[in-house]
Amino acid sequence: MLVSKNWLTEYVSMDMEQQALEDCLSMSGLNHEGTEPVGDDLAIDLEVTSNRPDCLGHIGVAREIAVLYDQPLSIPDPQPTAEGSDAGDSVSVNIQCPELCSHYTARVIRGVKVGPSPDWLVRRLETIFKPLNPQWEPVNNVVDITNYVLMECGQPLHAFDLAQITGNMITVRSAAADEEFEAIDHHTYKLQPGMCVIADDAGPVAIGGVMGGAESEVSESTVDVLIESAVFDPLATRSTSRALNLFSPSSYRFERGMDPEGVDWASRRCCELILEICGGTLEQGLVDAGEKAQVPSPVTLRLNQIDRILGISVEAEQVKKILTELGNEIVSADESQVEVVPPTWRRDLSREIDLIEEIARIYGYDEIPEDARVPMAASAKTDSDRVLEKIRSVLTGVGFDEAMSASVVTEDWAVAYSPWSSAQPLRNHTPMLKGADTLRPSLVPSLLESRRINQSLSNPVIELFETARVYLNQGESLPQEIRLVGVTTGEDYFYLKGVIRRLLTTLKIDAALAVESVELDLLHPSRSAKLLLDGELFGFLGEVSDNGLKQFSLRSAATVAEIKLELLEKHASLVPQHSAISTMPSIARDLNIVVDESVSWAQIESVVAQSAGAELQTVKYLETYRDPNQDGEHRKRILLNVTMRSDERTMTGEEADAIRENVVSAISEQLGGQLLG
């Protein structure tokens, strides 16, 4: 934001040293970027953060200087003289999209003389615009006045040639699909629904909050003008500017939110200057449509919190003085607290801590001693953080690297793999990345793309994982956001399944992990599965099929998995548990069981755990063997090891054999298994 030093002197005394002023503004939050001489003036470049749109005009900066230097502030009170007929007879306003434009005002001035601007006005604007654009030239007195008021108070305005407005109705509406509009930059834009347009009976004459139209712009032949001052929705303005790649000083300010009370002030100020410089007659009355913003809610500041948070004491009278000079209205005050209503131009003042920050920056951060004691309380990690920490520890420990990828992907990726939902992916009308306009329903495509890039760079080992959200379309409802852990490896299905089991073991999750067959386009039909944790959908696991490898241009085999963080957090046991190591010896028995091909290892493991009793220490899978000639078609041999131990005494061989028989009997009854001798 460039401000003119000479211009600032119209509102506040500027007799302080330039360097001191720049340092003071920087310390108060308006960081000084540089100062450049322009003629007999100085263009001061200040960084204005997004929460301070009130400082996007000279009056806002002057207000800051007045408070910092305890100087009186002089703001004009425009009272243009209105004569002639009523403005409502010349034009009316109809707002059809209050969500895009909440408040719209219009004034009409007839008989203006459009011509060059006076020297003082040109010099003011040159200081602001020349450093940014050396080819800048003034347009005409009416347009220059709208720019002057914009840079004075921060409220954008637009002047229409009233003769070019068809009919006597201004309609504020959403654009039609592919509606064409020629802006004052003489480029034609295709508009879309959700973009706010100002229209007459013939069509759009301006893009609300962004730019006016070429046909209705003020020219030398203009006699009657309509002055627009309005409030446009910040998000809609930002989306429109991005979608059209069309940015202006007006859109920059509307994107950050405007002072609703500044709408009428700016309109009156503009009309006053036009009457003074261009002549003409201002019609009586204000054409006003929409609703004005509500009065800000009161905020209470407890005085003892200043000492607690800043580490210094500030006198109550000084606190009230600072808040009042910043525009806050004191509702009530006593020895312990102050209640204020923030000014309409400071929408960032909504909490007690916001007021404390104002006290700190105006009182002076340099007034806070370096050794000031500020009470601090130790924070604790959330359960979610602790689970994530263990997940990262396990995955990095077995050789995986953490990846971070964008949440927006191409539509091809979104439909290539979407196991969590069959609904259409969510589209973004203003893509942040070229070609990527879809919110991803899965982490897998992003990880496979990272895998492809690493392969193209000849990286020999590509083991990646990512923890992030995916977004599922819920129709008219808000999107469902699921937090997932996505993994890709060059190893096979069983390796990655083992990694997932390691995660469950590390998090001390006792819930049963079940595996069911699943058919997904991207995965191999016989080496993929749906994972269930205590009966709830937990995730998906599988080797990428040959077609999937071609689709993502992968040179070698890949296996992927996605699991829900929510279920890991739900079942994790995060409180460390101590159990004494048994001094008693263990006894192991190997079992060679013949079962149907459809029987999974998870089923066998579950039956063993239930039938072996309290003495079971571990059950381990060893090997799978298939021999159709000996065991029959669709049968397989599973070799497993069962280890038993008693914490109280040495187990006998007979006791171990009895447990072994219980296990074999249970497998036979529940799974149809047969023990081989």
Q: What is the CATH number of the domain that holds 124?
A: 3.50.40.10
**Domain boundary pick from 340, 367, 394:** 367
Q: With a cut of 80, say whether residue 377 has pLDDT above it.
A: no
Query: For 544-553, what is the mean pLDDT?
Result: 95
Within a domain: 577: no
Query: For 636-641, what is the mean pLDDT?
Result: 95
pLDDT band at 476 (very low <50, low <70, confident <90, very high): confident
Q: Could you tell me what percent of the chain has a pLDDT over 90?
A: 85
pLDDT band at 294 (very low <50, low <70, confident <90, very high): confident
519 and 401 belong to one structural domain: yes
Q: Which pLDDT score is estimated for 600?
A: 85
Q: Which pLDDT score is estimated for 577?
A: 78
Q: Could you tell me what percent of the chain has a pLDDT over 70?
A: 100
Q: With a cut of 80, say whether residue 526 has pLDDT above it.
A: yes
Burial 352-390 (b: 16+ CB within 10 A, else e): beebbbbbbbbbeeeeeeeeeeeeeeeeeeeeeeebbeb
pLDDT band at 505 (very low <50, low <70, confident <90, very high): very high
pLDDT band at 638 (very low <50, low <70, confident <90, very high): very high
Find the range with the poorest average confidence among 53-57, 238-242, 374-378, 476-480. Answer: 374-378
**Domain boundary pick from 338, 367, 396:** 367
**pLDDT tens digit sequence for 186-235:** 999 999 999 999 999 999 999 999 999 999 999 999 999 999 999 999 99
The CA dihedral of 566, 570, 572, 577, to the nearest 10 degrees, is 160
Cα–Cα distance between 107 and 290 in angstroms, integer?
15
Within a domain: 527: yes
Query: For 170-195, what is the mean pLDDT?
Result: 95
* Backbone Cα Rg of the chain: 36
317 and 249 belong to one structural domain: no
Within a domain: 579: no
Within a domain: 75: no
The mean pLDDT value of the chain amounts to 93
Q: With a cut of 90, say whether residue 428 has pLDDT above it.
A: no
Within a domain: 498: yes
Q: With a cut of 90, say whether residue 252 has pLDDT above it.
A: yes
The residues pairing with 427 across neighbouring beta strands, listed in sequence order, are 438
488 and 620 belong to one structural domain: no
Within a domain: 73: no
Cα–Cα distance between 446 and 537 in angstroms, integer?
22
Q: Which pLDDT score is estimated for 616?
A: 93
The structure tokens listed for 656 are 């171990």
319 and 456 belong to one structural domain: no
Q: With a cut of 90, say whether residue 84 has pLDDT above it.
A: no
Nearest CA among 127, 126, 131, 160 for reference residue 143: 160
Within a domain: 549: yes
Find the range with the poorest average confidence among 68-82, 374-388, 558-572, 632-646. Answer: 374-388
Nearest CA among 491, 507, 281, 269 for reference residue 398: 491
Q: Which pLDDT score is estimated for 647?
A: 86
The structure tokens listed for 532 are 């269930």
389 and 470 belong to one structural domain: yes
pLDDT band at 575 (very low <50, low <70, confident <90, very high): confident
Q: Which pLDDT score is estimated for 463?
A: 97
Q: Which residue has the higher pLDDT, 501 or 435?
A: 501
CATH number of the domain within which 548 lies: 3.30.930.10
CATH number of the domain within which 641 lies: 3.30.70.380
Q: With a cut of 80, say whether residue 579 has pLDDT above it.
A: no
Pair 466, 486: CB distance under 8 Å? yes
Distance of CA 86 to the CA centre of its chain: 46
What single-letter amino acid sits at 249? P
Q: Which residue has the higher pLDDT, 100 or 526?
A: 100
Instruction: Please state, as a whole number, how many other Cβ atoms lie within 10 Å of the Cβ of residue 585.
Output: 9
What single-letter amino acid sits at 55? C
481 and 566 belong to one structural domain: yes
Within a domain: 74: no
282 and 338 belong to one structural domain: no
248 and 107 belong to one structural domain: yes
- Number of domain units in the chain: 5
Q: With a cut of 90, say whether residue 569 has pLDDT above it.
A: yes
CATH number of the domain within which 323 lies: 3.30.56.10
**pLDDT tens digit sequence for 5-41:** 999 999 999 999 999 999 999 999 999 999 999 999 9
Q: Which pLDDT score is estimated for 376?
A: 73
Which residues span the domain enclosing 656?
587-675
pLDDT band at 602 (very low <50, low <70, confident <90, very high): confident
361 and 259 belong to one structural domain: no
Cα–Cα distance between 450 and 409 in angstroms, integer?
13
317 and 446 belong to one structural domain: no
Cα–Cα distance between 665 and 447 in angstroms, integer?
45
The CA dihedral of 619, 623, 626, 629, to the nearest 10 degrees, is -80
β-bridge pairing 281-284 and 82-86 = parallel
122 and 257 belong to one structural domain: yes
**Domain boundary pick from 343, 367, 391:** 367
156 and 282 belong to one structural domain: yes
Tell me the pTM: 0.71
Q: Which pLDDT score is estimated for 124?
A: 96
pLDDT band at 342 (very low <50, low <70, confident <90, very high): very high
